[in-house]
Amino acid sequence: MSRTVSDSDRCPCTSGESFGECCGPLLAGTRRAATAQALMRSRFTAFAVGDAAYLLASWHPATRPRELDLDESLDWYRLDIHAAGGGTPFEKTGEVTFTAHYRVDGERAKLREHSRFERVDGEWKYLDAL
C-alpha cells in the first residue's frame, strides 16, 4: 500500500526524525545517503511509500533487477535496525541487520534480513541479502 508523506510527517523509517529531515531528500534525489544504514532506512521508506524507481536506483548494478513490481497489499509500518557493520562515509562496504514490519490483509508480519551494501561511484547501493 503506497502512501503520501509530507516533509513534516514522521519518517516511515522510524528514525524519529521528520521525513523532510531524514529520508525525504534521499528519495527526492537532493541528498545522497552518507552511510549504508541511511541507505537501508531510505529503502525501507521507499517500500513504505511505493517508490519503485528509488529502489531500483539505489540497487547495485550487479544485482539490480530489470523491473520491480511492488506488492500494493503490503503496508510497511516499522523498521528495527539490529546491527550495522562498516558502511561509514569512509568505507566501501557495509552490512545492516534489520527487521521490517508490515501488515497484509490485516495481519502483522515481519521480514528479518542481513543486507550488504557497497559504494559505486561514491554512492551507497544495496548489493544483496545474506
Question: Tens digit of pLDDT for each residue in 49-100?
Answer: 999 999 999 999 999 999 999 999 999 999 999 999 999 999 999 999 999 9
- Domains of the chain (ranges; CATH) run 19-129 (3.10.450.50)
Grid cell digits, residue 123: 554512492
Binned at pLDDT 50, 70 and 90, residue 2 comes out as low
Grid cell digits, residue 80: 528495527
22 closest CA partner among 42, 36, 44: 42
Kindly report the number of other CB atoms within 10 A of residue 45's CB atom.
Answer: 25
Q: What is the value of pTM for the model shown?
A: 0.95
3-state secondary structure of 40: helix
Average pLDDT, the chain: 95
Query: Does residue 1 carry a pLDDT above 50?
Result: no
